[in-house]
């Protein structure tokens, strides 16, 4: 049992915000249990932050907190630097400095990796170090490890992820409480599930960062944010949640990576109606989940908290242990990403994506409306799969007419929507939400 | 991108049954894509099986199949041996021989590890090799990697697992089709979800094997099968599934590992009524899922196929790659299991376990029955939480009286049941199923 000695590993932490506080707390409180279970004892060597005054909900041993990054960089007894500064500016310099100073880097910075990952990985290779980033995607769920190692023998056919807790909280709340978007957002902010400036989350940008990282690992390609079609949840109305529910659907902001029938990769983040009886439809509140379809395993699903102080800190610590054991380095060195020059041609443009749609128009209550509506769709080769028209009048004597379509290309729908918007029998802009049919892996 | 050379790794496979066939197929078909993605190219060096004649649904290159284990043992170019023989007899010798011949071992043999794991790990340590066993538990779900590495910074509070696809298939089918146990079992056998001799699965034994392995890793303790209380699903009737459903419950065979309030570990496999709105209740058919509660991450859930040729082969290949990269060795070496002498005192005896219960008696339709029934429970400090009595008569003019209880110790219930069984107003033996309240990790 005791053939292997306990390994002590000194950690330099940069960024003493929410997650940094969680990491410091975990190291201070759980070092014994981690050492007992894993044979690795993490030890906090220094904590670097511009703000050394603000009180944090963790008691650091005296002398650990500093605003001098050089204390970390110049200390040869510290092999691992944690970057929890966030953002794509200073954080990038800090990571590069740490790598050049001979430190392995652990980070939760998805925005930085999604934007400058290729460059940072290159610096890590040049310096013989590694970057570990399990905490960058869906903190509480060890999804990067699962894709990289657990599913390594599989060709990944598709991933469907609820990877932003803020959006899922808002959509769950709108749906279960029949709230407006603005009400649900305000509640999320009040309860700490949304930032004061929620733009990055509700625009789908944060989900796109995570998708870029996850898809690059799943498909072994360099993927940039430009490859990903992104639409946020700002324009979602509770009426559409309600009509969708009546038709058997639940609305989620999905991050989707799919191999298409033509061997390309479709990458997109958008509001998606999914069948209410699927596992992802039942993921409520701030929780995250990712369904992954592998060629050998079929469907797998991973569920847990995607953000928050302790779940993210848990992922950072897992990476620290993995780096200390030497595993992260090996995996990092063997991470093959097809370079950008090859990848570009692989990406399916959004216009070519084939999917189903939910369309709602506010139609004037006149004879012949449905015929003209359906006629335009038919002209664009779009066939109707379901329809819902409630009696009663909207503003200006209009009624909501909802239809769902069979599969069609995005460009067909775009053309049809442009024509629909011009119809004098329709009031306002048509509402269009994609319907995503998540494959059902069932017993046969 | 190409700084690291592709690593070729030659594999010797022992046991050319269902999973062995899947492993051979994955190696032969996916070597290119694995090499492209992971930088490791698995290469089948030999396949050892007693039966070299029977046709299998995979075409091996000529000369690979042999009945001579020595071809594997004596070939110094083969660093990894896969044991897929199964069982606890010959398989044990084969693993020991492979370790002593200097091979790392990859195995899916849960029965062997649950029974002789400590001894085999010892041989691996002595010989400086490692044993990798992701495929031994819930094949399609990389759960061992998740517990060992992804959640390594967490103290695990509890695990609740549906880890046997045969039982889940049978219970799902009984519930959704209102079938008898015998009907559902026959269907499962016909469709390949149950063995001709299903004893190991339906008795809960297979689930106990997996629980022993998972709990030992989660808690860092040596755990043996004797530590686990096991009850199978053979005696479950569709009536009880139906009454439970009316009361909001769904029946699953759960494998449970829980830290108790007294710091002990409760380990048990038994039919369990769980709230119908929990994620585990929605795991249908032959699928598996495990909820794990970690101190830092809260609830996480992992879902996928637990068995079958390709899902299990996928896990074997993941381990091969992990061993080839050197990671399995590091993790194996750092796996700390508190030895048996310390562990024994940690286990909560089943009599002391506190849980809720579902009880059904067939009561003679006489005045005062419920009072006497309730009186006996009260005498044993068991308080009633819910009750259900349908009108109508059973055989001999009896009616089913179902009650659910609040939390009480198993020994109280055992004593109450013994008294109930003696009551002249009750026909037959009372039916008793545990109700397991899976904690709900929700947004606050």
Residue B289: the pLDDT is 97
Q: Which residues numbered 71-110 in A keep a CB inside 8 Å of some CB on B?
A: none
CB A200 within 8 A of CB A206: yes
| Cβ within 8 Å, pair A296-B304 | no
CA of B288, closest CA in chain A: separation in Å?
10
CA of A373, closest CA in chain B: separation in Å?
39
Residue A283 tokens read as: 């993921």
Residue B20 tokens read as: 């062995």
CA of A190, closest CA in chain B: separation in Å?
11
The CA distance from B25 to B43, in Å, is 11
Contacts B31 to A, Cβ<8 Å = none
The CA distance from B48 to B12, in Å, is 8
Residue A83 tokens read as: 């970057």
Short-list A214, A292, A205, A298, CA closest to A253 = A205
| Cβ within 8 Å, pair B145-A149 | yes
DSSP structure string for A279-330: TGGG--TTEEEEEEEETTTEEEEEEEE-SSHHHHHHHHHHHHHHHHHTHHHH
**Which residue does chain A place closest to B280, by CA atoms?**
A279
* A155 secondary structure, DSSP code: P
**Is the model's pLDDT at B302 over the cut of 90?**
yes
Q: Mind listing the pLDDT tens digit for each residue in B144-163?
A: 999 989 999 999 999 999 99
| Cβ within 8 Å, pair A146-B149 | no
Q: Mind listing the pLDDT tens digit for each residue in B35-93?
A: 988 889 999 999 999 999 999 999 999 999 999 999 999 999 999 999 999 999 999 99
Residue B79 tokens read as: 């660093």
| B147 contacts chain A (CB < 8 A) | no
| Cβ within 8 Å, pair A37-B336 | yes
CB B280 within 8 A of CB B438: yes
Cβ-nearest to A152 among B7, B321, B333: B321
**Which residue does chain B place closest to A303, by CA atoms?**
B301
Contacts A193 to B, Cβ<8 Å = 443
Contacts A303 to B, Cβ<8 Å = 279, 299-303
| Cβ within 8 Å, pair B34-A296 | no
CA of B172, closest CA in chain A: separation in Å?
11
| Cβ within 8 Å, pair A36-B220 | yes
- Computed from CA positions of residues B162, B165, B171, B173, in that sequence, does the dihedral angle turn out positive or negative? positive
| B39 contacts chain A (CB < 8 A) | yes
Radius of gyration of chain A, Cα coordinates, nearest whole angstrom: 24
* For testing contact with chain A, the best of B170, B216, B443, B444 (most A CBs within 10 A): B443
Which residues of B belong to the active site? 210
Name the architecture of domain A7-136. Answer: 3-Layer(aba) Sandwich (3.40)
HEC per residue, chain B: CCCCCCEEEEEEEECCCHHHHHHHHHHHHHHHHHHHHHCEEEEEEEEECCCCCCCCCCCCCCCCEECCHHHHHCCCCCCEEEECCCCCCHHHHHHHHHHHCCCEEEECCHHHHHHHHHHHHHHHHHHCCCEECHHHCCCCCCHHHHHHHHCCCCCEEEEEEECCHHHHHHHHHHHHHCCCHHHHHHHHHHCCCCCCCCHHHHCCHHHHHHHHHHHHHHHCECCCHHHCEECCCCCCCHHHHHHHHHCCEEEEEEEEEEECCCCCEEEEEEEEEEECCCCHHHCCCCEEEEEEEECCCEEEEEEEECCCHHHHHHHHHHHHHHHHHCHHHHHHHCCCCECHHHHHHHECCHHHCEEEEEEEEEEECCCCHHHHHHHHHHHCCCCEEEEEECCCCCCCCEEEEEEEECCEEHHHHHHHHHHHHHCCCEEEEEEEEEECCCCCCCCC
**Which residue does chain A place closest to B187, by CA atoms?**
A444
Q: Indicate the class that CATH gives domain A143-305+337-348.
A: alpha beta
Q: Mind listing the pLDDT tens digit for each residue in B401-430?
A: 999 999 999 999 999 999 998 888 888 899
The CA distance from B166 to A354, in Å, is 37
Identify the H or E element spanning A408.
strand A408-409
Contacts B295 to A, Cβ<8 Å = 30
CA of B102, closest CA in chain A: separation in Å?
18
Residue B193: the pLDDT is 92
The CA distance from A47 to A85, in Å, is 12
Contacts B38 to A, Cβ<8 Å = 152, 334, 336
HEC per residue, A208-273: HHHHHHHHHHHHCECCCHHHCEECCCCCCCHHHHHHHHHCCEEEEEEEEEEECCCCCEEEEEEEEE
Residue A110: the pLDDT is 96
| A300 contacts chain B (CB < 8 A) | yes
| A4 contacts chain B (CB < 8 A) | yes
Return averaged pLDDT per consecutive 10 residues of chain A, 444 residues in all.
72 97 96 90 97 94 97 98 96 98 97 95 96 94 92 95 97 97 96 94 98 94 94 97 97 97 94 96 95 96 93 96 93 83 88 96 81 91 91 72 96 95 88 95 80
Contacts B34 to A, Cβ<8 Å = 152-153
Contacts B331 to A, Cβ<8 Å = 325, 327
The CA distance from B407 to B357, in Å, is 8
| Cβ within 8 Å, pair A152-B318 | yes
Cβ-nearest to B318 among A153, A321, A331: A153
| B336 contacts chain A (CB < 8 A) | yes
**Which residue does chain B place closest to A284, by CA atoms?**
B442
**Is the model's pLDDT at B2 over the cut of 50?**
no
Identify the H or E element spanning A47.
strand A40-48
**Which residue does chain A place closest to B6, by CA atoms?**
A334
Residue A1: the pLDDT is 41
Short-list A75, A23, A68, A24, CA closest to A49 = A68
Residue A36: the pLDDT is 87
The CA distance from A327 to A306, in Å, is 24
Residue reference for tokens 């028209």: A389
B116-153 burial, b for 16+ CB within 10 Å, e for fewer?
Answer: bbbebbebbbebebbbbbbbbbbbbbbbbbbbbbbbbb
Longest distance between any two alpha carbons in chain A, whole Å = 85
Contacts B313 to A, Cβ<8 Å = 153, 296
Residue B3: the pLDDT is 47
| Cβ within 8 Å, pair A297-B285 | no
| B314 contacts chain A (CB < 8 A) | yes
**Is the model's pLDDT at B442 over the cut of 90?**
no
Residue B4: the pLDDT is 57
CB A99 within 8 A of CB A129: yes
Considering chain B, what percentage of its residues have pLDDT values greater than 90? 82
**Which residue does chain A place closest to B299, by CA atoms?**
A304
| A43 contacts chain B (CB < 8 A) | no
| B57 contacts chain A (CB < 8 A) | no
Short-list B315, B284, B319, B280, CA closest to B300 = B280
Cβ-nearest to A321 among B153, B301, B315: B153
The CA distance from A309 to A319, in Å, is 16
| B155 contacts chain A (CB < 8 A) | yes
Cα dihedral A89, A107, A73, A337 in deg (nearest 10): -80
The CA distance from B113 to B342, in Å, is 20
Cβ-based neighbour number of residue A375 at 10 Å: 11
Residue A76 tokens read as: 């040869």
CA of B412, closest CA in chain A: separation in Å?
35
A171-176 LR contacts (CB < 8 Å, sep 24+): A171/A233, A171/A236, A171/A241, A171/A251, A171/A252, A171/A253, A171/A271, A172/A284, A172/A285, A173/A285, A174/A236, A174/A238, A174/A241, A175/A238, A175/A241, A175/A245, A175/A250, A175/A251, A176/A284
B349-371 burial, b for 16+ CB within 10 Å, e for fewer?
Answer: ebeebebbbbbbbbbbeeeebee
The helix/strand count (H/E) of chain A reads as 15, 17
Longest distance between any two alpha carbons in chain B, whole Å = 85
Q: Mind listing the pLDDT tens digit for each residue in B361-388?
A: 998 877 777 788 889 999 999 999 999 9
pTM here? 0.94
How many CB pairs (< 8 A) connect A and B?
A: 231
Residue A170: the pLDDT is 98
CA of A74, closest CA in chain B: separation in Å?
28
| A313 contacts chain B (CB < 8 A) | yes
Cβ-nearest to B4 among A26, A313, A334: A334
The CA distance from A322 to A396, in Å, is 63
Side-chain half-sphere CA neighbours of A222 within 13 A? 17
The matching CATH number, chosen from 3.30.70.260, 2.60.120.10, 3.40.50.720, 3.30.565.10, for A351-435 is: 3.30.70.260
The CA distance from B230 to A174, in Å, is 44
Domain chopping of chain A, boundaries: 7-136, 143-305+337-348, 351-435
């Amino acid at each position: 049992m005791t053939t292997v000695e306990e390994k002590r590993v000194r950690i330099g932490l940069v960024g003493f915000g929410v997650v940094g506080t969680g990491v410091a707390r975990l190291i201070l409180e759980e070092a014994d249990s981690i050492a007992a279970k894993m044979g690795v004892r993490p030890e906090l060597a220094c904590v670097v932050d511009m703000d050394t005054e603000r009180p944090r909900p963790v008691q650091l041993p005296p002398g650990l907190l500093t605003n001098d990054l050089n204390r970390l960089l110049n200390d040869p007894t510290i092999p691992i630097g944690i970057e929890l500064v966030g953002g794509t500016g200073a954080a990038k310099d800090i990571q590069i400095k740490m790598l050049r100073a001979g430190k392995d880097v652990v980070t939760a910075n998805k925005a930085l990796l999604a934007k400058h990952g290729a460059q940072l990985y290159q610096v890590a290779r040049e310096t013989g170090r590694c970057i570990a980033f399990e905490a960058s995607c869906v903190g509480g769920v060890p999804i990067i490890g699962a894709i990289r190692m657990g599913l390594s023998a599989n060709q990944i056919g598709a991933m469907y992820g609820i990877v932003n807790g803020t959006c899922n909280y808002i959509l769950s709340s709108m749906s279960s409480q029949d709230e407006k978007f603005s009400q649900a957002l305000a509640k999320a902010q009040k309860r700490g599930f949304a930032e004061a400036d929620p733009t990055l989350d509700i625009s789908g940008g944060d989900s796109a960062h995570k998708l870029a990282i996850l898809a690059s690992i799943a498909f072994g390609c360099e993927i940039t944010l430009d490859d990903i079609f992104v639409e946020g949840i700002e324009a979602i109305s509770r009426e559409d949640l309600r009509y969708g529910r009546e038709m058997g659907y639940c609305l989620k902001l999905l991050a989707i990576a799919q191999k298409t029938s033509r061997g390309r990769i479709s990458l997109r983040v958008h509001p998606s109606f999914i069948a209410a009886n699927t596992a992802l439809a039942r993921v409520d509140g701030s929780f995250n989940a990712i369904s992954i379809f592998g060629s050998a395993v079929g469907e797998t699903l991973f569920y847990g908290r995607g953000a928050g102080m302790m779940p993210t800190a848990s992922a950072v610590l897992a990476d620290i242990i993995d780096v200390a054991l030497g595993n992260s380095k090996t995996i990092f060195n063997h991470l093959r990403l097809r370079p950008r020059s090859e990848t570009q041609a692989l990406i399916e443009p959004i216009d070519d994506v084939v999917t189903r749609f939910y369309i709602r128009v506010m139609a004037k209550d006149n004879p012949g409306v449905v015929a003209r509506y359906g006629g335009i769709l038919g002209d664009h080769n779009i066939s109707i799969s379901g329809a819902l028209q409630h009696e009663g009048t909207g503003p200006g004597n209009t009624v909501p007419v909802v239809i769902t379509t069979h599969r069609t290309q995005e460009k067909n729908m775009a053309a049809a929507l442009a024509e629909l918007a011009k119809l004098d029998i329709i009031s306002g802009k048509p509402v269009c939400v994609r319907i995503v049919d998540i494959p059902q892996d069932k017993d046969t």
